[in-house]
Each structure stands twice: as structure tokens, then as C-alpha cells.
Structure 1
Amino acid sequence: MHEEENDGGTPAKRGSGPVARAAGSDASRTSASRTSASGTSAAGTRASGTRSSGASRIAGRRGIVARVLSGVAILAAGGGLVAGTALAPQPSAARPLDAAEAAVPAGSVQDVCPAPARLLEGTPVGTDPQFSPESATARSTVSAAVVSSAGGSLPGSALSALKGSELRRIAKAPGSATAPAGSSGVLAGVVEGQAVDDVSVLSADALANRQPAAGALMAYTATDGDLQGSAAAACQTPSNDLWLGGANTAVGRSSVLNLTNASTTPATVNLELYGKAGQVKASGSRGLLVGPKSTRSIILAGLAPGEERLSVHVRSTGGPVSAFIQQSVLRGLTSGGVDFIAPGTSAAPSQVMTGIDIQDAGDVKSLTGESGFDDAGPSLQITVPGPSDAVVEVKLFGRAGQQALPGGGVVTAKAGTVTEVPLSGAPAGQYTVSATSDVSIVAAARVSRGLKASQSLDFAWSPATAQLGSQHVVPLPQGGERLLVFGALDGRATISYTPITADGKIRTAATADIAAGTTTTLKAADRIGDSAVVGYLVSASGGAAYGTVLLEREGRNDVSTVAIAPGAEGQEKVPVTLGY
């Protein structure tokens, strides 16, 4: 690879129970002793007979009064003792306890790859599509890599069709493959360009209670027909909450949402649609059933027709789902490209996209000025799902640092709408885009390729991606120009990238130092020795860094972007709270 130069319970209260009972007992004993003494004096008086009966009654009343007053005084004293004890500051009988953490068993990987791009047949009614045969030159392949443990044991893994039939067995069971003598002790199981004709699934078992390091990528290419161009997407871990931005249902644009349920539990999906003028209310967007091991395709124009910019929020109950939008453009009889729109990060105040390839500013302006080509240039789309408008600061970082944007890069995006910000005007090259807001937003950036209206053009959407960490498996398709694009924002970052070759070897790592506020592009090697390079292991350290695979073809306007998927995590622990 060649690097472009870049510079429990409430605490008990003492005195409220036992002390009060003890005070009452003392009062009773005192009152009893005084009563006994008074009784003895009265008996002596009656025996001597020197007092009249009236005097006796008076004395008796005085004795009663004295006993009552004595009892009141004692009770008052006891009450004061109780009150004083209760009101005085007391040490707490409880102490805070940290929530215990329980280890979560590592789960297996089950990444879903999209089906090949298919052309809609005729003019469908409603939202259920009918597809026509693919073009004569269309080719769809899946490339995958599964990395072993440090001891060289590969997890049980395979690439399979959605219904379960195996397309390629990678490793039978842990320990079935070991690293060759003299190697670093780590190897990879590889799938190199497996042809597919439908949805496929990469599965890999947990190994030593750790999530396996694995990744797959589906790539589509065609040089003829209405869907000529290229499209690629990282195979996706299913989720119950997904955001997709960049759809278009205007005339000449086709958007098909493909929902796949690879689990054995039925999924019920609800869609939230956001357009240029606000949220779109569609009667057929809720309660969509996706059965186990099945895919449901939905034509978005049947739900939100005529939307030049459309974002889709997919939420499921029951089984998790994967979601891709097959997006294509046809301008008259000329193809405008094809893409698989993949989900980006969830709504947040900050979103970052990289791998934004911008062409010459003057030529882009001339092209987008022609009728029907306003969506043929690079741009950023911002969706505001909340009830408040967003003030968004957009920054563009290239090889030489930050580049100015028209209007200073600060825009107001209306609540519930999709706002577009042009990115043209910067010098040609690869860029990283950041969008920072005062409220949560969703963002995606469009990459365009081709500068002449008479030619077949292509485009791709780069979704917002998460910050890079360690051990990201980045598979690559064979053929064409394969670029790794990395952007650093606020601090200098170091990227380590290690080639994976078709023979299963993990080659020597290389590093790239990225200055803060810049973007670096690295060209993947085609071969190392006699073996093809089929992917990389990528890690980042230092400042926050982001990465995307940019795919192009020499002599053609084909372009695709694939955000680098999250890396394998160690054993996860979660806090456990006992109670109800």
C-alpha cells in the first residue's frame, strides 16, 4: 500500500422504637411506687379514726390528684426524651453499594449482505415490487475475512444463503485451523469474491468467550443496462433501530427498501419518513411483518412519492432486521448510477462522514446547472428528527486541512425535515465532513462521479460512521481502484493497517500518521507476493479518527463507498441492580 503524503432499605432511626418503650416502662414503675406509699399513709389514718369521713374523701382526692400530676410529669419527661432522641442527628445505618457487574457471554456474528441490485419491472402498483432480470454484465460477489485468536484458532464460520444453505465453509470448528510455523500466530479465514444471487449471511461463532473478529462486503458492478455502475455495502449486523439517509423518489429515481430478518423470530417493522417539507405520514408504513429467514422489499415511492430527499427511520419489534435501500437514477435513456444506501450512526449532536470524493468545482457547477442534474453533485443531507430546529456547523477537511464552504458552513435545519448543503467548490480530492449541532441530527453525504451529461454517471452515499477503535476487519472486493480514506478531526491520529492475503496470512503492519483536521488517502495493494490482498485489519490510536473504503474504476465513472464497520469487542460487562 502506498500512502499519500500528509503532513436497599430506609436507615433505622435510633430512639424511635426501643427508647420509647423503655421510657414508658420507667414511668410505670415510678408511678407504682408512689401510689404504694400514698396508700400506706391513708390506711394508717383510717385505722386511728382521728379523721372524719369527709376528711378522708378530701385526702383521697388529693392523693389521686397528686398521682395524676406525677404521672403527667413523668410522661412529659419521657416524651421529651423520645422527641430529643428522634430529632438529634444520627449516624446512617446504610452505606452505598456499587452495582455489581455481570459478564455477558460473547455472541456469534451474523452479518447480513444485501441482495444484488435488480431493476424494477414496469410500473408497479403500491409498494410491493416486481423485478426484471439483471443485465448481461451484472456481477455480484461477497468478500469476507474471519480472524483467528492469538493462538491461531479460527472460529467456526461460514458464508450462507439466507435460508441456510452454505455457500462457503470458512472454518468447521474452533481449532480446526492453526497458524503456520514461523508466523505471528494469527491467521485469517478468507472468502474471495464468492458469487451470490440473493441475500447472504456471514456467521462466525464466539471464540474463548470473545466476539469473533469478522467482516464481509457485497459488491455489485454492471457495464450495461439501466443499473450500470457500481454499488457496495458492508454486510450488516441486524438491529431494532436503524437510520438511512439519501433516498429519492422523484421522477427518474427509484428507491427500494429491503428489510431482511435473518433470525428465527418474526419482526414487526414501523417506518418513519422524513422529507424536504417535513415528516411524511403514510398509512402503509406501520406494522410491516417480516417473517423469519425472509426479506421484504418496499417501494418507497408508494409511501412518499415525489420526495427529492428522503430519510427513513426503521424500528422493529421482535426479531432485529437489516435494512438497505437500493437507489438508482435514470435520466431519460441514460443511467445516472446505482447504490446501496446503508444505515449510519443513530441520531446524535455530532456526525462524521469520510471518503467524500469531490471533483473539479467548475465542471461540477456546469453539470448541476443542467436540467435534471441538480442531484449530480456532492452534498450533505441533514435530518432533524426532533421538535426543535437545529443550528448545524458543517466543516470540510481535506489533505491540506479545513476548506471553506459557501455561507461559512453554518446552516439552520428545520425540525422534522431533510436539509441539503452543497459541498462543491472545494479543490478536487478526498474529504471528511463533520456536522455539529445543538440538537440530535442524522446525516449522510453524497459522492458523485462523472462530469458530462451525455455519459452514464454514478453516485454513492457515505453514511455517518463511528470513531475507529481497534481490530476492524475491512474486506475488499477484487478489481478496480481500492482506497482507504481516513480523517482526523481535533487531534493527531495514528492508523495501523495490516494486509490480509488470500492465502490466509496476516502480513506486516504499516502505519499512517494523520494530522488533526486533515484527511489521508491510502491505496490498497493488489498483491503481496503471489497472493491477492483481500482486506485489512485496521486500528486507530491518538485523536478521534474515522474511516471509509472508497471504490472506483479506472476509465469509468463507477464509485462506491463503504463505511468501516465497528471492530470486535472484548467480553462485555453490564451493571446488575437487584430490586423491583
Structure 2
Amino acid sequence: MLEDENPPRRTEPPRRTEPPRRTDPPRRTEPPRRTEPPRRTGSRRRGTAAGILSALVLVAAGGGLAYAASLSPQNPASRQLEPPLAAVPAGSSTGVCPGPARLLEGTPVGTDPQFGPESASAKTSVNAIVLGSRAGVLPGSRLAPLTGSPLVELAPAAAAAVPAAPPAPAAGPPVLLAGVVSQREVDAVSVLRADAQENLQAAAGAVLNYTAGDGDLRGSAAAACQQPANDLWLAGANTALGRTAVLNLSNASGTPATVSLDLFGAKGPIQAPGSRGLLVGPGSTRSVILAGLAPGQERLSVRVRSAGGPVAAVIQQSVLRGLTPGGIDFIAPGTAPATRQVVTGVDIQDPAGLAALTAKPGFADAGPALQLTVPGPADAVVQIKLYGRDGQKALPGGGVVTAKSGAVTEVSLAGVPAGPYTVSASSDVSFTAAARVTRGLKSEDASDVAFPAAAARLGSQHVIPVPRTGDRYLVFGAPDGRARISYTPVTADGKIRTGAAADIAGGTTASIKVPAEVEGSPLVGYLVSAAGEAAYGAVLLEQDGGQDISTIAVAPGATGQEQVPVTLGY
């Protein structure tokens, strides 16, 4: 009976395939079943064949799904979402004003200049305006040097950070109030700072004005105090004999700035040792004599790029013809390269007198001109149009020029009737533009020069301070179509007076004389807004009976809360 019972138990298939025994750990790890060669070989072959077959099925299925998805309409819920936008609080407003014009001592070699004293009659002053909120509260604001205690405090910072009471919607009109700095004399680089208020950047602006009636730097120079940036373009410099160009770099931030300069001359890019890696420490100014980097250049444009802290850049350009002063001005940055550039505030003298003056040796740069810089690798065919008080004026050369790539091309603006103009230049290749205007028609007398740069179109609520002295003009141009300009005076007592408006016909330039006083108080500036077609503006400064001339660009308006895309990841 033992022989009849044992064989069925050993060979009984149900016991081998019984689920409980298959999952029993001892039976699953039984060495004979794991190491049996026939079963291992068969299992590997079957697994490989099954894997290949599964991969082919998946590929075919994936291709079918992709084809079907391309034919079926996309559900909006299945589309790729754009990165979300996060609100960034408005920052403070910062305007860096150049220091006084200084006379170089010794031979201008290298990039570490020494300055001599100014003339006995030289004066340098800052005028500034900071607008208050609709509730009549001024933001925390002050005018101060790069380092040190404030020169003028318009409002303490605590007033902006912790207001006495939240501004409630008022039934009446808003309270119009401005903080004003009027004719504050300075002897170094200064900074106007205004804190953000109600999550909006403060509307503020400042301008520096230099005048001298004697010395080699005789004349006038003015510039709007500029918002620091990491990429700036300046055009109009000259390092030829008798011309001095000093680039001043100011860092008003708390972060060191490493600056690199790209130089463009009349014949192309200039590779200059020492133009890279210029360190500008926090709260400091570094001066670079451009003749040490690019000597003998009658036309020179400079691109300033900063890594780290943003910087403000301005070129002090002066002319000396023998012993006769030929002018002084601050060359401020213009708009970045674009296919269209507009320059306004181009005031041209009598064409006959200019022709006689510029024909004399050494006076070729005593006439008005437009300088075009093409930084890219392709030449630019530029069409130039000139718009005056009564419409477009034709240039003697036809108005179409070819500007060489990597170089600075100069186009004479002489030969048109005297008066203020707006210059519009366009091409299919990006370029920068700046003009040169002069004052003075006698070679034996001192003359002056100014360099208005291309600017952006006007928007709403530009703060435009103006110096207190001299003849002052608001110059507006509308090259494309009719525009309406509103301008509201701001007086020295901080009051915002009744405004006015001007309708400017398309293709014309308008000039508005700035009065000395409004309602018994000295005028210190304007609030300007534009509507309609694109309009451009500048401030033109002259001296009654003198040869002084300078221009001031209109600074961009204040910005509110911005939004930036945010991507989550690692």
C-alpha cells in the first residue's frame, strides 16, 4: 500500500499549482526550482520576446494616439499653461545728477584724470519736483550727495511708510501738492530719491544746470538726472585736437558695478585696451578720459554695460579752438538702437551765417548735424525727415543716407531755415541717433554747443523741472499726426497751478516760452501729458543776448506696480 500511495502524492499537479503553496515563502525560495537550468533559460527567452512585443505595441499605440490627438480639437484645459504672474511692489525713484563741469589738468592720458578749479563765475544748481499723493501727502524724498547726509529733505521717509490716516475716497477734487527744490547749488554728483507711495512709484524729476561766463569751459550745460541702468548708449563725443570728452560713471546703489565700454568711431568699432572691467564702487563716481581709449576720433559713440549694480553715465564734452572756448555740454544717454529714432529740440541758426563759419579751418563741427550709429553687422539705409513750425523741410542732400555698420555716420543739417525742429530717422536696420546744435556765428567770439539725443514718445504725467535762469522753451514735435499736449505749471511754493493745452498738427514742431513766474511765484517746472498720435518733447535753454545753448531730455514717467512671470522648479 505504500507503493500505491506515494507516487500520486509526488506527481500530483494540483499540489504544485495550488495557490497557497505557490505563495508560501519556503516553496518560492526553494533552490531546486530556482536553479533548474531548463526553467531559467525558457523564462528568459519568453521574457525577452514578451518585452519586445510589448514595446512594439506601446510604440504603435503611442503613434496612434499622437496622430489622433493632432486630428482632434484641443481642450483648453489640456493646453500648456503660461507661467503665473507675480506682482512686484513698486520701487523708489532714483535720479542721479551729474557733478559740475571740471577742467582737466595736465595732458589727458590714461583713464585717471585730474581736475582743475572751475572759472570764477561758474555756477551749478539742481532743480527738482516730487509730486504728492491724491490725499496731499508727500512721499519720503531727499536730495543728497552719493554719500553723506541729505542736502535737502523734502519729506521724511516715515511720512510715506506710516501715513497718519489711510486716504479715503474724497468727495471733492484731489489735493494737488508738490515738493520742490529750487536752485540748490551743488559741488558734486547728487541723487534725488523718492520712496514709493500707495504701491506706486513716486512721480519725481530733477535737472542739473551749469553756467560759466569765463574760462575754457565757458557756456552752459544741462542734463536731466537719470535713472541708473545696466545698458546705456551715448553719442556725440569728440576726442580730436582741442576737444575733450570725459565719461563719468556714477554708482548710487549698494552693489559694486563692473563696467565695460563698446566704442564706435567714424571708421568702425574701436578695440581699446582698458575698456573692460572698470570697477565702480558703491556710492562712487569714476571718470574715464575717452581720448585715452580712442584718440583723434571726430565722431565717437559709447555703449556702457554694467554687471552688478546699475550706473548713471554722462559725457562732459568741451571744445577749445585755440584760445577761444567753443562750448560745453553734458551728453546724456539716448534710446537704445531701434529702426526709428526721433530727436526734438534741434534749434538751427541762420543758414547763411553757418555756411560762412563752418567753411573756416577748425570750425567744421560748429554747424548742426545728426549722428547715426549702427552697432550691427549690416549697413542701414536711413531716411531723414525734418519738421519745423510750418511743416516738413527738405534737407539739401535729399534726406537718404547709408550709415555704415559698426560706425558713426554724420549728416549735416545745415541749409534749412532757422528755427526749432524735430528730426525723424527710420531704417530697416537698428541704429542710434543724436544731434549736435551750436550757437554763435563769429569765429573770434566764444560759442556754445549742445547734444540732444533721441528720446521715447511722451506718455502721461512727465515731471519736467526747468532751471530758473535764462530763456526757456518747451519744444514738442508730432512727426506722424495731430497730438494734444497738456502742460501744468509747478511753482516754487509747491503749488500745482492751472494747466494749459496745445494742439500740434502732424508733421510740425511747436515751441512754448516758459514764463519766469506764475501767479506771483517763480516757476520751477511742468507736469506734461500727451494724447493722440506720437509726440516727443525736450526743454531748450538759451541766454538772452548770449551764445549759450543746452537741451534737456524729458525723463520717462513714473511706473506703477509691475508683474513678472514666475516659474516653479528646481
TM value normalised by structure 1: 0.84
| Residues 442 and 80 of structure 1: CA distance in aligned 2, closer, same or farther (over 3 Å) | closer
| Residues 184 and 553 of structure 1: CA distance in aligned 2, closer, same or farther (over 3 Å) | farther
1:553 aligns with 2:553: no
Query: Which of 514, 532, 535 is equivalent to 1:542?
Result: 532
Query: Which of 367, 370, 378 is equivalent to 2:368?
Result: 378
1:147 and 1:154 in contact (8 A); partners too: yes
Q: Distance in 2 between matches of 1:465 and 1:576?
A: 31
Query: Which of 443, 459, 463 is equivalent to 2:433?
Result: 443
Aligned pairs for 1:88-127 (under 5 A) are 89-90=68-69, 94-127=78-111
Q: Distance in 1 between matches of 2:453 and 2:57?
A: 72
Q: Distance in 1 between matches of 2:422 and 2:258?
A: 36
Query: Which of 466, 471, 475 is equivalent to 2:465?
Result: 475
- Name the residue aligned to 1:328: 318
For 1:492, the aligned partner's letter is: R
- Name the residue aligned to 2:203: 213
Q: Distance in 1 between matches of 2:117 and 2:68?
A: 83
- Name the residue aligned to 2:402: 412
Query: Which of 125, 130, 135 is equivalent to 2:114?
Result: 130
Aligned pairs for 1:108-187 (under 5 A) are 108-172=92-156, 173-174=159-160, 175=163, 184-187=174-177
1:128 CA drift (Å): 1.2
- Name the residue aligned to 1:33: none
Aligned pairs for 1:47-86 (under 5 A) are 86=65
1:103 CA drift (Å): 1.2
2:108 and 2:292 in contact (8 A); partners too: no
- Name the residue aligned to 2:383: 393
Q: Distance in 1 between matches of 2:66 and 2:214?
A: 88
Query: Which of 275, 296, 311 is equivalent to 1:306?
Result: 296
1:176 CA drift (Å): 7.9
Structure 1: unaligned runs, 5 residues or longer: 1-71
1:178 and 1:187 in contact (8 A); partners too: no
Q: Distance in 2 between matches of 1:408 and 1:110?
A: 43
- Name the residue aligned to 1:492: 482
Q: Distance in 2 between matches of 1:350 and 1:141?
A: 34
| Residues 167 and 87 of structure 1: CA distance in aligned 2, closer, same or farther (over 3 Å) | closer
For 2:121, the aligned partner's letter is: T
1:98 CA drift (Å): 4.0
Q: Distance in 2 between matches of 1:176 and 1:120?
A: 51
Aligned pairs for 1:286-305 (under 5 A) are 286-305=276-295
1:387 CA drift (Å): 0.5
State the SS of the aligned residue for 1:159: strand
1:349 aligns with 2:328: no
1:154 and 1:178 in contact (8 A); partners too: no
State the SS of the aligned residue for 2:188: coil
Identity in percent:
65
- Name the residue aligned to 1:6: none
- Name the residue aligned to 2:503: 513
| Residues 183 and 500 of structure 1: CA distance in aligned 2, closer, same or farther (over 3 Å) | farther
Q: Distance in 2 between matches of 1:257 and 1:289?
A: 14
For 1:399, the aligned partner's letter is: R
| Residues 122 and 88 of structure 1: CA distance in aligned 2, closer, same or farther (over 3 Å) | closer
Query: Which of 238, 261, 268 is equivalent to 1:271?
Result: 261
For 1:382, the aligned partner's letter is: L
For 1:462, the aligned partner's letter is: P
Q: Which structure has the bigger radius of gyration?
A: 1
- Deviations, residues 153-188 of structure 1 (Å, cap 9, x unaligned): 110000001113210001112258999x99851210
1:486 CA drift (Å): 0.3
- Deviations, residues 344-369 of structure 1 (Å, cap 9, x unaligned): 01111111100000011111100000
Q: Distance in 2 between matches of 1:355 and 1:414?
A: 26
State the SS of the aligned residue for 2:354: helix
1:154 and 1:177 in contact (8 A); partners too: no
1:407 CA drift (Å): 2.2
Q: Distance in 2 between matches of 1:214 and 1:306?
A: 39
Q: Distance in 1 between matches of 2:104 and 2:429?
A: 38
Query: Which of 189, 200, 204 is equivalent to 1:199?
Result: 189
| Residues 124 and 410 of structure 1: CA distance in aligned 2, closer, same or farther (over 3 Å) | closer
State the SS of the aligned residue for 1:522: strand
Query: Which of 356, 361, 368 is equivalent to 1:366?
Result: 356
2:384 and 2:424 in contact (8 A); partners too: yes
Q: CA RMSD in A?
A: 2.4
Q: Which shifted more, 492-501 or 117-126? A: 117-126
- Name the residue aligned to 2:228: 238
- Deviations, residues 125-169 of structure 1 (Å, cap 9, x unaligned): 322111111100000000000001111111000000111321000
- Name the residue aligned to 1:19: none
- Name the residue aligned to 1:55: none
2:245 and 2:290 in contact (8 A); partners too: yes
1:152 and 1:177 in contact (8 A); partners too: no
- Deviations, residues 41-93 of structure 1 (Å, cap 9, x unaligned): xxxxxxxxxxxxxxxxxxxxxxxxxxxxxxx9xx99x9699759647624567
| Residues 499 and 87 of structure 1: CA distance in aligned 2, closer, same or farther (over 3 Å) | closer
For 2:290, the aligned partner's letter is: L
1:154 and 1:189 in contact (8 A); partners too: yes
| Residues 183 and 311 of structure 1: CA distance in aligned 2, closer, same or farther (over 3 Å) | same
| Residues 509 and 178 of structure 1: CA distance in aligned 2, closer, same or farther (over 3 Å) | farther
Q: Distance in 1 between matches of 2:346 and 2:317?
A: 18
Q: Distance in 2 between matches of 1:80 and 1:270?
A: 56
Q: Distance in 1 between matches of 2:98 and 2:113?
A: 16
1:153 and 1:178 in contact (8 A); partners too: no
1:435 CA drift (Å): 1.0
Q: Distance in 1 between matches of 2:476 and 2:59?
A: 74
TM value normalised by structure 2: 0.86
1:491 CA drift (Å): 1.5
1:490 CA drift (Å): 1.0
1:555 CA drift (Å): 0.8
Query: Which of 305, 318, 322 is equivalent to 2:308?
Result: 318
For 1:426, the aligned partner's letter is: V
For 2:142, the aligned partner's letter is: A
1:578 CA drift (Å): 3.6
